[in-house]
């Protein structure tokens, strides 16, 4: 293997170096530009064009530069860049296939023909796995997880209440490499290194996403705390176990640590926690454990992330199982995984949380091991039976029977050949067993025996090994690869928040982040939020660029204006090329009591001319949640356009607190309040549509967003105000693209004026005419 | 030597008998109605029972005793095919490609006047003008409507000519924001021309009983307003025929029928409760093959039951349509 890699070593190409350089700019700008005066530079957690999260990128960087020091790695890359700037090839080498992958990723950021996000992410994972080979070959020592220390938008857990004694490390936070090495043990008996890459991928995808939140580089203790939190285990219940700590085999300090971590987590995510309490008590949402857990995972934009989109363990293993062994076995695998998980739960419950929580990666490994062991034992049984006379006869009978049946079934010359081929030795075998047909029968029978003996004695020893390995490993590999390819949902980073009514643009990309992005307590005020905006040319150079920044505050009563930014929106550059994005930062300070219990949405809009399109426009928003904002009642517009029908209008709105907004296909439609999603496919008069269930004024209601062309959210997901639910369209009973936006009670239509919300202030930004039909009659534009 | 000859003769005789027997068995199997087929997956959007009255007569029940199911062999739809259709329709901008949780990647082409959406997974295309333009009512003839619709579908590459045959017209009246209702040709604001695959005696319907997998909506001035195409690929009849429910079996099992549409499809069924339905009266019955979802490859025959419904809160009776699986379950 080492020889194979060394044989294909090449100097890192210019594109590969450019890729790393761009990645460093995004993820480690200080390594390129140096430290900023007074504070840290804003750092991205996700690189859209290449599908890389920060932690993945740093792993790739380390592997490729063969160092575990990011600064050192950055210096190496800068050295390579300097050489290439002088058109000199660097002396260092990387595997050729890795170089090709990285070059294609770099092309993806610059070329006109850009790969889809899905393809990019698959490519990114491939490159990461490929780079891991360098580490595997150069050292047998497992690679430790990279230490992320500079991201400003990470959850900071270093509170005064947390002591320095570490709690026991949960196994699920074991590094990918460790998981690989554990998993590779039993598997290597079967297929050696053939399985290493898929298991790596499996462990990689399954490991950190749900509980460990590796994207933000948090420690395993945090993961454990979150895990317990979502199981309803509070910090006080952990503290109550102090007297039993010895019995549980852990120190009081460790218990105290864990309790503190749970408390910190609860404090850090009051918003999510409140919802989890609702969900746990109500069970109406039917969210999976993984989904509930994921609610506690902070996303880039400050909202609660909702990935993975469905029960991860069940989903992942179910998919893998289905691809491997079909539906029946997939059920069996799901059942096994369920048992494993429930055992873990039981352990947590009975041992009262002092124990270690196995990670998803380990559970996957356990189940994989279980399946492989089962298959192996069956194969072994089969081979051992072939060694006996009865076994040989039985196998021969099955073989010949199969040939006869197959021949009859197939028909034609092949069928006839099979039939004769099965009948002749079959009759001989029967004759030999019965002693009939004299010596002829015996001789044919003995041919059959000899044939079988030949197979088992000569052919099997030579072929059995490779055959069994192929039999077991090839389907497993295919399943794992299919799993990776089909796991688009798990590769997708947390959803970005877009802006209602603005068209998604294939020409302009805007990323806007706020730091810190976690929900804040009122007691955190005053606080300064750093915003970073990056404008990217997706297809060719942008010109005639215009920026607009709008900040809005949602708060009970009269909403205040946003505080002034630290610096005005910069002057628009003359052009933005695909090779160099345009970025800038600013900050806003929010003070007490003005911004207590408020939701602040800062929206940045870019309008520009692309080579293929004049006046292309897109926008991105960053939200900050402070205290307990009134975001469970609807607020704002889900999309922009002309009002074509008011609430309680005749016909389709005769009994509905609903409006129709005329807008073209492909406009972003956003949730107007927090809640739990119900998503519907293209059936019935509303076509593809989304409903969001929530509570407003103490009463349950739901909002409906109908006639969509694309639905982006799944039933059971938690969604926050401002997140995209889909794109406008024309599905269902609709003559022309429009959005049907409605508020309903669980029992039926809303009855004005007894039961808000209604299509009037404060639930929409302005009062709308009721009962009107048609744009000319309604005479209202939104906004 | 003699023994061997006898043995070979015996073997050949056995072989001959086996081949003849298997041939006969195979032939019988082909003509015999197959006893079992899983029920078609028709989503039910309204739970619970409600009274159903059947008023059509036995003489109206004129259907064969058995029927084939249809097998679809879909061809691979490529991104390039979508690009070609978009190009034919005059879209010059790059498409917006988004992931839909139900239908996978959706390609959206749009300009000031119209939009085209396409799904590779479902092999579906939807074209629409952004709004109904002002028009002169030219009262196009049926032939002109069929010709316009067929030309639009074929010239733009939605389907090929051998894939479709005209099935029916649906006349719709429309007011912006008020839904679509059935009407007469004279009063129609949209003429929907339904097409189906070229299979004898087999009408294919979708979950919307008014729509076939391919249809075009034409304005009274003869221009195309909307088009929808689900590419079914090669459609063949099954080897076996399946026994259909008799009149008595339909009457006795009427409660197994699934409500698909109320008020010409303008009522969202989950919005009403079964208790609000005072009665559904079935006045007519037809048979069709059902495309229960875009990815299915087997289309089973279903009875389409049409009639009226009395719903609490509605001053008059409204139209109702239901599907009932036509194949007798085992």
Token output for A648: 């309680």
Which of B171, B197, B232 is the C-terminal boundary of a domain? Answer: B232
Establish if A736 touches chain B: CB-CB under 8 angstroms.
Answer: yes
Same domain assignment for residues B271 and B205: no
Mean pLDDT over all residues of chain B?
A: 86
Mean pLDDT throughout A706-719? Answer: 89
The arithmetic mean of pLDDT across residues A636-664, rounded, is 79
Q: What would the pLDDT profile of A461-471 be if each residue is shown by its tens digit? A: 444 545 555 55
| Position B224 in a domain | yes
Is residue B330, in this structure, part of any structural domain at all?
no
Q: Encoding tokens for residue A301? A: 């934009």
Q: For residue A746, what pLDDT is reported?
A: 79
On average, the pLDDT of chain A sits at 64
> How would residue A356 be classed by pLDDT, with cut points 50, 70 and 90?
very low
High-pLDDT (> 90) share of chain B, %: 35
Query: A442 at the B interface (CB within 8 A)?
Result: no
**Gap between the terminal Cα atoms of chain A:** 63
Determine the average pLDDT of the residues in A172-183: 30
Which pLDDT belongs to residue B212?
92
pLDDT of residue A689: 94
pLDDT of residue B283: 92
CATH number at residue B101: 3.30.310
Q: How far apart are CA B213 and CA B124, in angstroms?
A: 9
**CA-only gyration radius of chain A, Å:** 31
- pLDDT tens across A495-507, in order? 333 444 344 567 7
The structure tokens listed for B271 are: 């919005």
Exposure string for B120-158, b = 16+ CB within 10 A, e = fewer: bebbbbbbbbbbbeeeeeeebeeeebbebbbebbeebbb
- Nearest residue, CB atoms, A711 vs list B93, B102, B117: B102
Higher-confidence position of A396 and B251: B251
| Bridge partners, residue A740, by sequence | A660, A706
| pLDDT at A443 exceeding the cut of 50 | no
- Look at residue B46 and tell me if it is in a domain: no
B148 and B294 co-located in one domain: no
Give the model's pLDDT for residue A725.
93
Minimum Cα–Cα distance from A612: chain B residue: B93
Q: Taking CB atoms and an 8 Å cutoff, what residues of chain A touch B262?
A: none
The verdict on a CB contact (< 8 Å) between A655 and B132 is no
Lowest mean pLDDT of A9-18, A45-54, A538-547, A689-698, name the range. Answer: A45-54
Substitution target from A315, A424, A684, A732 for chain B, most B beta carbons within 10 A: A684
Percentage of residues in chain A with pLDDT exceeding 70?
Answer: 47
B269 touches chain A (CB under 8 A): yes
**Structure-token match 């333009």, residue found:** B133
Q: Where are the alpha helices (DSSP H) in chain B?
A: 2-31, 79-88, 142-155, 247-252
Q: Is the peptide bond before B135 cis (omega within 30 degrees of 0)?
A: no
Q: What is the pLDDT of residues B237-266, one digit of tens each?
A: 888 888 889 999 999 989 889 999 998 888
**How far A666 CA lies from chain B's nearest CA (Å)?**
7
Query: Per-residue pLDDT for A665 more than 60?
Result: yes
Looking at the predicted structure, is the pLDDT value of residue A460 above 80?
A: no
Q: What residues of B are in contact with residue A652 (Cβ under 8 Å)?
A: 177-179, 266
Distance CA A295, CA A499 (A): 22
Q: Looking at the complex, does the CB of residue A527 fall below 8 Å from at least one CB of chain B?
A: no
Note whether A666 contacts B101, CB cutoff 8 Å.
Answer: no
Residues of B in contact with A666 (CB under 8 A): 96, 108, 110, 115
Sign of the four-CA dihedral A557, A501, A301, A235: positive
* Residue A420 with chain B: CB contacts under 8 Å: 11, 15
Residue A47 in this model has a pLDDT that exceeds 70: yes
List pLDDT tens digits, range A261-319: 666 666 555 444 444 433 333 333 333 334 333 333 332 222 222 222 233 333 333 33
User: Lowest mean pLDDT: which of A149-153, A369-373, A698-702, B276-280?
Assistant: A149-153
Asked if A504 lies within 8 A of B98 by C-beta distance, the reply is: yes
The residues pairing with B70 across neighbouring beta strands, listed in sequence order, are B237, B299
d(CA A203, CA A221): 20
Residue B299 lies in a domain: yes
Per-residue pLDDT, B125: 93
Q: Which residues pair with A676 in a beta bridge?
A: A693, A718
**Alpha-helical segments (H) within A283-311:** 289-294
CA distance A533 to A518: 18
Which of A239-243, A274-278, A411-415, B42-46 bottoms out in mean pLDDT, i.e. has the lowest?
Answer: A274-278
Identify whether B300 is part of a domain.
Answer: yes
DSSP letter for each residue of B276-324: GEEEEEEEEEEEEEE--STT--EEEEEEEEEEEEEETT-SS-EEEEEEE
* A373 has a pLDDT exceeding 60: no
Q: Max alpha carbon distance in chain A (Å)?
A: 106
* Residue pLDDT, tens place only, A763-775: 888 888 887 877 7
Say whether residue B41 is in contact with chain A using an 8 A CB cutoff.
no
- CA distance, residue B312 to nearest chain A CA (Å): 13
Contact residues, A window 672-691, toward B, CB-based 8 Å cutoff:
679, 681-686, 688
Pair B264, B36: CB distance under 8 Å = no
Q: Which residues of B touch A509 (CB under 8 A)?
A: none
| Residue whose entry in the numeric block shows the structure tokens 């030949």 | A454
Q: Which of residues 52-91 of B touch A (CB under 8 A)?
A: none
Regarding whether B317 and B245 lie in a shared domain, the answer is yes
A720's tokens: 């926050």
- In chain A, what percentage of residues exceed pLDDT 90? 8
Pairing of strands A688-696, A718-719: unpaired
Per-residue pLDDT, averaged over A365-391, amounts to 53
State whether residue A437 sits within 8 Å of chain B by CB. yes
B260 vs A41, residue with greater confidence:
B260
- Using a 10 angstrom Cβ sphere, with 0-12 exposed, 13-18 middle and 19 or more buried, the burial of residue A33 is exposed
Distance from CA of A612 to the nearest CA of B (A): 7
Q: What is the pLDDT of residue A477?
A: 57
Q: What is the mean pLDDT of residues A597-607?
A: 80
Q: What is the ipTM of this complex?
A: 0.84
Give B274's DSSP letter: G
CA distances (Å), origin B324, targets B240, B255, B329: 21, 9, 12
Q: Note whether B266 contacts A666, CB cutoff 8 Å.
A: no
- The span from the CA of A303 to the CA of A496, in Å, is 9
Q: Is A759 buried (19+), middle (13-18) or exposed (0-12) by CB count in 10 A? A: buried
Residues of A in contact with B296 (CB under 8 A): none
Beta bridge partners of B216: B193, B227
Distance from CA of B252 to the nearest CA of A (A): 28
* B167 and B245 together in one domain: no
A250, A257, B72, B162 from A253: Cα distances, Å: 8, 6, 66, 78
The pLDDT confidence band at residue A651, using thresholds 50, 70 and 90, is low
Contact between A218 and A155 (Cβ < 8 Å): yes
Q: Are both B185 and B106 inside the same structural domain?
A: yes
Instruction: For residue B233, give how far its alpha carbon lies from the nearest alpha carbon of chain A (Å).
Output: 21
Residue A23's φ and ψ, nearest 5 degrees, are: -65, -40
Higher pLDDT, A15 or A491: A15
Residue of A489, A612, A685, A704 to mutate for B, most B C-beta atoms under 10 A: A685
Cα–Cα distance for residue pair A344/A229, rounded to 1 Å: 15
Q: Please say if the pLDDT value at position A80 is more than 80.
A: yes
CB B154 within 8 A of CB B161: yes
B chain contacts of residue A748, beta-carbon cutoff 8 Å: 271
Q: Does B92 touch chain A (CB under 8 A)?
A: yes
Residues 202-241 of B with CB under 8 A from A: 207-208, 225-226
Q: Could you tell me if residue B33 is inside a domain?
A: no
Helices and strands, number each (H, E), in chain A: 23, 22
Number of Cβ pairs < 8 A linking chain A and chain B: 160
Short-list B43, B207, B224, CA closest to B126: B224
Please state, in angstroms and as integers, the Cα–Cα distance from residue A59 to each residue in A45, A55, A147, following that order: 14, 6, 10
Q: Does A710 touch chain B (CB under 8 A)?
A: yes
d(CA A168, CA A220): 9
Residue B40 falls within a domain, yes or no?
Answer: no
CB B273 within 8 A of CB B294: no
Backbone angles phi, psi at B308, to 5 degrees: -130, 160
B6 touches chain A (CB under 8 A): no
Considering the domain architecture, whether residues B149 and B218 belong to the same structural domain is answered as yes
Instruction: Say whether both B222 and B310 belong to one domain.
Output: no
Q: Which residue has the tokens 């994005």?
A: A581
Structural domain total, chain B: 2
Q: Based on the domain organization, do B162 and B210 belong to the same domain?
A: yes
Residue A355 confidence (pLDDT): 30
Whether a cis peptide bond, with omega within 30° of 0, leads into A762 is yes
Lowest mean pLDDT among A163-167, A226-230, A515-519, A652-656: A163-167
User: Which of residues A301 and A537 earns the better pLDDT score?
Assistant: A537
- pLDDT category of residue A493 using cuts at 50, 70 and 90: very low
Q: B319 lies in a domain? A: yes
Measured CA to CA in angstroms, residue B54 lies from A60, B255, B284 at distances of: 69, 11, 9
CB within 8 Å of B235: residues ≥ 6 apart: B70, B71, B72, B73, B197, B198, B199, B299
Looking at the complex, does the CB of residue A33 fall below 8 Å from at least one CB of chain B? no
Tally Cβ neighbours within 10 Å of residue A470: 14
Q: Is the CB of residue A537 less than 8 Å from the CB of residue A49?
A: no
Domain stop point among B211, B232, B253: B232
For residues B100 and B248, membership in a common domain is answered with no
Evaluate whether A539 touches A656 at the Cβ level (below 8 Å).
no
Together in a domain, B227 and B90:
yes
Q: Which of B191, B214, B232 is the last residue of a domain?
A: B232
Residue B186 domain boundaries = 76-232
What CA–CA distances, in Å, run from A392 to A395, A399, A453, B244?
Answer: 5, 10, 7, 49
**Integer Cα distance of A327 and A766 in angstroms:** 52
Residues B90 and B208 in one domain: yes
What pLDDT, on the 0 to 100 scale, is given for residue A684?
87
Structure-model confidence comparison of residues B26 and B130, the more confident one: B130
Q: DSSP letters of B253-265? A: TGGG-EEEEEGGG
Asked if residue B156 and residue B174 are part of one domain, the reply reads yes
Q: Under a CB-based contact definition with an 8 Å cutoff, are residues B285 and B304 in contact?
A: yes
Supply A641's token pair. 């356009």
Interface check A777 vs B, CB under 8 A: no
A385 touches chain B (CB under 8 A): no
Judge whether A618 is closer than 8 Å to chain B, CB to CB: no
């Amino acid at each position: 293997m080492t020889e194979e890699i060394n044989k294909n070593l090449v100097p890192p190409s210019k594109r590969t170096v450019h890729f790393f350089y761009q990645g460093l700019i995004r993820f480690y700008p200080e390594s390129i530009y140096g430290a900023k005066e007074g504070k840290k530079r804003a750092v991205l957690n996700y690189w859209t064009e290449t599908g890389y999260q920060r932690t993945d990128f740093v792993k790739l960087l380390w592997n490729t530069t063969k160092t575990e020091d990011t600064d050192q790695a950055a210096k190496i890359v800068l050295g390579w860049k300097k050489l290439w700037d002088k058109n000199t090839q660097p002396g260092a080498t990387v595997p050729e296939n890795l170089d090709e992958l990285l070059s294609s990723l770099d092309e993806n950021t610059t070329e006109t023909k850009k790969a889809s996000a899905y393809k990019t992410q698959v490519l990114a994972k491939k490159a990461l796995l490929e780079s891991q080979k360098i580490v595997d070959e150069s050292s047998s020592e497992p690679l430790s997880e990279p230490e992320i220390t500079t991201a400003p938008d990470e959850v900071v857990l270093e509170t005064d209440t947390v002591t320095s004694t570490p709690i026991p490390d949960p196994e699920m936070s074991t590094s990918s490499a460790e998981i690989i090495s554990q998993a590779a043990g039993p598997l290597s008996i079967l297929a050696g290194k053939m399985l290493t890459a898929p298991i790596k991928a499996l462990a990689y995808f399954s490991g950190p996403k749900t509980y460990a939140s590796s994207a933000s580089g948090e420690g395993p203790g945090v993961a454990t705390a979150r895990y317990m939190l979502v199981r309803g285990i509070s910090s006080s219940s952990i503290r109550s176990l102090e007297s039993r700590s010895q019995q549980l085999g852990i120190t009081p300090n460790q218990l105290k640590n864990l309790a503190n971590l749970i408390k910190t987590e609860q404090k850090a995510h009051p918003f999510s926690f409140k919802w989890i309490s609702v969900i746990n008590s109500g069970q109406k949402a039917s969210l999976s454990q993984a989904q509930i857990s994921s609610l506690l995972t902070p996303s880039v934009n400050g909202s609660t992330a909702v990935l993975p989109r469905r029960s991860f363990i069940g989903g992942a293993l179910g998919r893998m199982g289905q691809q491997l062994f079909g539906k029946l076995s997939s059920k069996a695998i799901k059942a096994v995984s369920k048992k494993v998980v429930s055992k873990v739960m039981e352990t947590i419950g009975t041992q009262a949380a002092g124990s270690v929580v196995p990670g998803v990666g380990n559970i996957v490994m356990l189940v994989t091991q279980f399946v492989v062991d089962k298959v192996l034992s069956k194969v072994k049984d089969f081979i051992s039976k072939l060694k006996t006379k009865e076994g040989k006869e039985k196998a021969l009978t099955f073989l010949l029977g199969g040939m006869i049946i197959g021949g009859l079934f197939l028909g034609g010359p092949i069928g006839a050949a099979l039939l004769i081929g099965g009948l002749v030795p079959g009759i001989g075998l029967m004759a030999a067993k019965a002693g009939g047909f004299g010596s002829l029968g015996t001789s044919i029978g003995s041919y059959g025996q000899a044939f079988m003996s030949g197979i088992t004695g000569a052919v099997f020893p030579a072929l059995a090994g490779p055959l069994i390995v192929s039999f077991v490993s090839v389907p497993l590999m295919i399943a794992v690869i299919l799993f990776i390819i089909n796991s688009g949902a798990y590769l997708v980073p947390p959803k970005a928040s877009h802006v209602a009514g603005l068209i998604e643009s294939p020409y302009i990309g805007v990323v806007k982040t706020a730091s810190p992005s976690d929900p804040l307590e009122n007691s955190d005020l005053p606080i300064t939020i750093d915003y970073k905006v990056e404008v990217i040319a997706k297809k060719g150079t942008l010109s005639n660029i215009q920026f607009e920044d709008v900040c809005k505050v949602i708060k009970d009563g009269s909403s205040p204006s946003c505080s002034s930014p630290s610096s005005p929106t910069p002057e628009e550059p003359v052009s933005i090329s695909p090779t160099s994005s345009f970025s800038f930062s600013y900050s806003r300070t929010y003070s007490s009591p003005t911004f207590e219990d408020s939701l602040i949405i800062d929206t940045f809009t870019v309008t520009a001319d692309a080579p293929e399109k004049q006046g292309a426009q897109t926008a991105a928003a960053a939200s900050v949640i402070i205290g307990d904002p009134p975001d469970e009642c609807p607020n704002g517009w889900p999309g922009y356009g002309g009002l074509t029908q008011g609430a309680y209008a005749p016909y389709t709105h005769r009994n509905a607190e609903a409006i129709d907004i005329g807008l073209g296909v492909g406009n972003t439609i956003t949730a107007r309040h927090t809640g739990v999603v119900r998503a519907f496919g293209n059936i019935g008069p509303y076509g593809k549509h989304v409903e969001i269930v929530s509570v407003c004024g103490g009463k349950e209601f739901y909002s409906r967003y109908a006639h969509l062309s694309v639905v982006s959210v799944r039933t059971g997901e938690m969604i926050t105000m401002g997140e995209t639910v889909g794109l406008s369209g024309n599905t269902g009973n609709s003559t022309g693209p429009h959005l049907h936006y409605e508020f309903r009670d669980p029992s039926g239509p809303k009855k004005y004026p007894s039961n808000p919300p209604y299509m009037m202030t404060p639930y929409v930004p302005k009062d709308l005419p009721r009962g009107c039909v048609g744009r000319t009659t309604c005479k209202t534009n939104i906004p | 030597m003699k023994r061997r000859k006898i043995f070979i003769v015996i073997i050949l005789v056995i072989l001959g008998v086996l081949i003849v027997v298997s041939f006969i068995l195979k032939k019988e199997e082909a003509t015999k109605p197959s006893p079992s087929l899983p029920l078609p997956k028709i989503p039910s959007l309204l739970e619970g029972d409600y009274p159903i009255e059947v008023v059509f007569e036995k003489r109206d029940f004129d259907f064969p005793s058995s029927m084939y199911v249809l097998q679809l062999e879909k061809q691979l739809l490529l991104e390039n095919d979508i690009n070609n259709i978009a190009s034919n329709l005059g879209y010059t901008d790059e498409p917006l490609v988004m992931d839909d949780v139900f239908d996978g990647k959706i390609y959206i082409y749009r300009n000031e006047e119209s939009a085209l959406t396409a799904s590779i997974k479902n092999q579906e295309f939807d074209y629409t003008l952004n709004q109904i333009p002002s028009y002169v009512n030219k009262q196009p003839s049926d032939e002109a409507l069929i010709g316009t619709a067929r030309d639009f579908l074929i010239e733009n590459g939605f389907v090929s000519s051998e894939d479709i045959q005209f099935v029916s017209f649906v006349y719709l009246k429309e007011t912006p924001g008020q839904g679509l209702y059935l009407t007469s040709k004279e009063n129609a604001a949209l003429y929907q021309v339904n097409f189906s695959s070229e299979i004898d005696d087999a009408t294919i319907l979708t979950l919307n009983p008014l729509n076939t997998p391919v249809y075009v909506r034409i304005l009274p001035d003869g221009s195309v307003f909307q088009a929808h195409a689900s590419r079914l690929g090669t459609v063949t009849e099954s080897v076996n025929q399946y026994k259909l429910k008799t009149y008595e079996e339909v009457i006795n099992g009427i409660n197994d029928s699934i409500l698909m549409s109320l008020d010409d499809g303008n009522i969202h069924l989950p919005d009403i409760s079964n208790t609000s339905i005072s009665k559904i009266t079935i006045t007519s019955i037809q048979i069709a093959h059902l495309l229960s979802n875009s990815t299915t490859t087997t289309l089973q025959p279903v009875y389409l039951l049409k009639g009226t419904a009395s719903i609490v809160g509605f001053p008059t009776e409204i139209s109702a349509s239901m599907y009932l699986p036509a194949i007798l379950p085992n």
